Amino acid sequence: MSLFQRGSFTLASGESSSWLIDCRALVTEDWAALAKLIVERTPPFRVVLGVPEGGIRLMQALEQHRDRTATGVLVVDDVWTSGGSMNRYIDQVWAEGALAGPVSRAVVFARRSPPADVVALFTMED
């Protein structure tokens, strides 16, 4: 399994693409390094939430960086295409009452430029 794959893919957004970012190829040490980069670029957070399923391993890597004195919530995902998955997840946890405090968003890879309020470690254009 490789991180970047070429072929014919239907993305979670429903879009078609000739390439795929498969973060299942990343190992624990990769996630730890990516988490450190995100911590350097986002406000302190008390709670970290990972968008299922891509954001779970990143969330786990970020758990050790939580600041129990902070009030913020950090929502993370592995890949941003249209933002639909993250937005639906935020709406869901908001409705469940799980979001309290300011919300920050971060992703490892963005397939296109995300909104200014989303920290993307790496941005690519199709």
Spell out the residues 6+ positions from residue 9 whose beta carbon is closer than 8 angstroms to its own. Answer: 16, 17, 18, 19, 20
Residue written as tokens 């390439």? 19
Give the least confident one: 14-18, 83-87, 96-100, 116-120: 96-100
For residue 126, what pLDDT is reported? Answer: 53
For residue 114, what pLDDT is reported? Answer: 95
Would you state the structure tokens that stand for residue 62, as one six-digit string? Answer: 């970020």
Alpha-carbon gap, residue 18 to 14, rounded angstroms: 13
Alpha-carbon gap, residue 77 to 54, rounded angstroms: 6
The type of residue at 125 is E
Q: What pTM value is reported for the model?
A: 0.93
Is the pLDDT score of 98 beyond 80?
A: no
